[in-house]
Structure 1
Amino acid sequence: MPAEDDFTVTPYAVEGDIDYDRLLDKFGADALTAEQKAKFPDPGHPLVRRDVFYAERDVDPFLDAANEGKPHSIVTGRGPSGPMHIGHIFPFYFAKYLQDQTGTLVYIPFSDDEKYFLKDKSLGEISDYTRENLLDLLAVGFDPERTRIIVDTADADVVYPLATAFAKEVTQSTVDATYGEPENIGLSFYPAVQATHLLLPQLVEGRHPTLVPIAVDQDPHVRVCRDIAAKQRYDVAKPGALLSKFLPSLEGPGKMSSSDDAPSILLSDDRETVFDKIRTHAYSGGQTSLKEHREQGGNPEVDVSYQFLYYFFEESDEQVERLAREYQQGSLLSGELKEMAAENIANFLEAHQERRRALGPLEEELEQYRLTESERQDARRRAGYPDNSLVQQ
């Protein structure tokens, strides 16, 4: 059993060789069962089938509502501190899959305020990244009738009143114990803003099951929000969570990040750049020589090219199983596996980029996804603000 401090997983730091099973015990979450996976709508998504989403909190009410045609929603957000890479985008394509299959209501909060508190970047830089990230999210192709995008600073008229209400439910000691001592009072307050994000669909639409599909490092936000919801001062259900493993860095197992020195495959990368990054940087699970690889085979568990295909970029289960088998046998070479991964990723990015180029001006595109004035009033009212509140004027 590894020592307790062999790895760190928090919303603000991921370090070390992560033991995902131990995280379940540490965070108090449950493994996603075969029965639960079978309740996801057909065709089942690879992220669920292959245990990339491997743990959960109260996922059953969401799945029951989705299968019965009852109201249900997903919240999956973005912190705009840099350009988006492939590790950022797959939760949004997963949300679109659910929306396409079951009519899921999708809420996408942009925490531009948190990124300003957290990163050494100017307000102007955060604003520029917000605009670019928004275009990438719009390129996913969500249904405007079933999707709402909220930018904290642009939608402060609804975010701040709700966060004010929820902030009174969270003590500083809870923040310190959950996140560590905050670097500034903005981060100290941010859990109340995050709770606003996660409860907003219910405050707009009324009580219903909400699911938050996130990487496991973001689970503390869900736990704090669930504590707020459990106090029953608001007519909301505790949001459920679907927790994922990390898409690995090109340099090997671990979290892909755009904020460190490890190379990332950006959503803006062209085909040549994708192939160059994969060929040059993708960590290989193969042997050091062709002869040894033919004799001993490779290890798909650590091979980054295989992991990219397994996580998201190869739809066919039969294909990923065949690739793993042939790689272990030594008949499939590391270079061949890299070419397959690069081809699939480049194809995906070209389709995404084409949809992005087809968008109109951001302000016009975004308008159809913003909360309406009646939705804003409903949210404030359900949070306890009277109809004659000045915030509505």
Structure 2
Amino acid sequence: MTDDGFTVTPYTVSGEIDYENVLEQFGADRLTDEQIARFPTPVHPLVRRRVFYAGRDVDRFLSAATAGERHSIVTGRGPSGAMHLGHIIPLYFAKHLQQQTNALVYLPFSDDEKYFVTDNSLEEIGAQTRENLRDLLAVGFDPDRTRIIVDTADADVIYPLAAAFAPSVTGSTFEAAYGQPKNIGHAFYPAVQAAHLLLPQLVEGRHPTLVPIGVDQDPHVRVCRDIAAKRRYDVDKPGALLSKFLPSLDGPGKMSSSSNSGTTPTIYLSDDRETVFEKIHTHAYSGGQPTVDEHRKHGGDPQADVSYQLLHSFFEADDDRLDRIEREYRNGALLSGELKEMAADAIASFLDAHQRRRRRLDSLETELRRYRLTEHEREHARRRVGHSTFKTMI
């Protein structure tokens, strides 16, 4: 959608986003206090602080998760470049839920889509996919409860599913959700995305699935829900948990490799501690006053301050400590530089731990072997949509 002053689509996010307007346009439901309370304890900060602020069919997922019934999470990565904080946080959230509820987690990599919609070559996309996969593996999912799918590497299962779903996606449906396609590959991608989101049910049988994503990615879920509603394949509509965006360092908007201004850097998963501190101190937008004296007198605005928002979103788990930081920043006891120091230290420590796990990984081929779909799972999914292997057909 494009509205006055901002744009939110799966491929473009810009401007200062009115999240209530987005919900009204997309038709999703705001999370209620009752729903937040039903998440497993401790409720993740992203949920209890309403960074994940809306959803679709969240109650069905929560009922299955709390009852110990089969349920799954689907989230993944479009490998268009090096990963940054905004990319990895939904993956750590999915791991948190897996640890709490024993959820199945499916992690698709849409390397084909990124070839369709970017100017990167196949070789560049392949290199980015390999690097991104190592970052995903460093998160530490349970290999017995997790499947990683790469579209081009797993075409033997993804393509038959997408081919089955494609007739349900008309040109008008695509244009309503995405606008004009860039090319024929882009036009076909919603069918591939439906294969991603329905794959857990096609492998494991019908059950509630939750897709935790940025609100800009909701069109993918809406199109897939339309496909599932046709009831041809005995699957439920996938649910969604929709998040606000981690702020770019220069203020409101989505954290990305190119910020709103085009000049402010983002924080990559490969950044060392010194780089994180430099980026935060130099570029993080401050909600403080121009001088120390004015700040001591009037205080700062944590809602406008990027360092505070980063702590609030993910990097400070203790609610009491976060409340104290907010209070002291508002009354001027805490200076902007001190707040930046807190945020930089928290982010650098998070990245230190992530990078240590990444360095300990074995070869990509060895690590991925534990997360690949088995041949039985592949064949089961294909048969659920009326396909069998070519060998079986002849």
Q: What's the CA shift for 1:259? A: 4.2
Return the letter of the residue paired with 1:269.
D
Answer with 293-302 or 252-261: which moved more. 252-261
Classify 1:259/1:115 alpha carbon distance in 2 versus 1 (closer, same or farther; 3 Å). Answer: farther
| Cross-structure match for 1:17 | 16
**Partners of 1:284 and 1:305 within 8 A in 2:** yes
RMSD of aligned residue pairs (Cα, Å): 1.2
Aligned to 2:371, what secondary structure does the other structure show?
coil
**Partners of 1:116 and 1:122 within 8 A in 2:** yes
| Cross-structure match for 1:339 | 341
| Cross-structure match for 1:363 | 365
Aligned to 2:139, what secondary structure does the other structure show?
coil
Classify 1:185/1:325 alpha carbon distance in 2 versus 1 (closer, same or farther; 3 Å). Answer: same
Unaligned runs of 5+ in 2: none
Deviations 1:16-47 (A, max 9, x none): 11000111110000000111111111111000
1:117-266 mapped onto 2 (5 Å cutoff): 117-259=116-258, 261=262, 262-266=264-268
1:74-153 mapped onto 2 (5 Å cutoff): 74-153=73-152
**Partners of 1:81 and 1:129 within 8 A in 2:** yes
Classify 1:231/1:140 alpha carbon distance in 2 versus 1 (closer, same or farther; 3 Å). Answer: same
Q: What's the CA shift for 1:321? A: 1.0
TM-score, normalisation: structure 2? 0.97
Is 1:314 equivalent to 2:316 in the alignment? Answer: yes
Query: Within 2, Cα distance between the matches of 1:24 and 1:244?
Result: 11
Identical pairs, percent: 71
Query: Within 1, Cα distance between the matches of 2:226 and 2:66?
Result: 27
Q: What's the CA shift for 1:320? A: 1.1
Q: What's the CA shift for 1:6? A: 2.3
Return the letter of the residue paired with 2:371.
Y
Return the letter of the residue paired with 1:23.
V
Q: What's the CA shift for 1:155? A: 0.3
Query: Within 2, Cα distance between the matches of 1:336 and 1:16?
Result: 28
Q: Spell out structure 1 runs of 4+ moving beyond 4 A.
A: 387-393
Deviations 1:162-209 (A, max 9, x none): 000111101011101110101111111100000100000000000000
Query: Within 2, Cα distance between the matches of 1:174 and 1:184?
Result: 16
Q: What's the CA shift for 1:94? A: 0.5
Deviations 1:137-166 (A, max 9, x none): 000000000000000000000001100011
Q: What's the CA shift for 1:296? A: 1.1
Deviations 1:244-293 (A, max 9, x none): 00000011111000145331100000000000000100000001111111
Aligned to 1:139, what secondary structure does the other structure show?
helix
Deviations 1:26-80 (A, max 9, x none): 0000000111111111111000010000001000111010000000000001000
Aligned to 2:168, what secondary structure does the other structure show?
coil
| Cross-structure match for 1:37 | 36
Aligned to 1:154, what secondary structure does the other structure show?
coil
Query: Within 2, Cα distance between the matches of 1:130 and 1:388?
Result: 27
Query: Within 1, Cα distance between the matches of 2:235 and 2:351?
Result: 38
Query: Within 2, Cα distance between the matches of 1:392 and 1:7?
Result: 51
* Aligned counterpart for 1:304 among listed residues 303, 306, 309: 306
Query: Within 2, Cα distance between the matches of 1:379 and 1:389?
Result: 15
**Partners of 2:258 and 2:266 within 8 A in 1:** no
**Partners of 1:377 and 1:392 within 8 A in 2:** no
| Cross-structure match for 2:292 | 290
* Aligned counterpart for 2:378 among listed residues 376, 379, 383: 376
TM-score, normalisation: structure 1? 0.97
Return the letter of the residue paired with 2:370.
Q
Aligned to 1:242, what secondary structure does the other structure show?
strand
| Cross-structure match for 2:326 | 324
Q: What's the CA shift for 1:391? A: 7.7
Query: Within 1, Cα distance between the matches of 2:20 and 2:324?
Result: 27
* Aligned counterpart for 2:269 among listed residues 263, 267, 270: 267
Unaligned runs of 5+ in 1: none
Q: What's the CA shift for 1:5? A: 2.8
Q: What's the CA shift for 1:388? A: 6.1
**Partners of 1:157 and 1:391 within 8 A in 2:** no
Classify 1:274/1:127 alpha carbon distance in 2 versus 1 (closer, same or farther; 3 Å). Answer: same
Return the letter of the residue paired with 1:379.
A
Deviations 1:67-118 (A, max 9, x none): 0000000000100010100111110111011110110000000000011111
In the alignment of these two chains, the number of paired residues is 390
Query: Within 1, Cα distance between the matches of 2:366 and 2:93?
Result: 25
1:274-285 mapped onto 2 (5 Å cutoff): 274-285=276-287
**Partners of 2:258 and 2:265 within 8 A in 1:** no
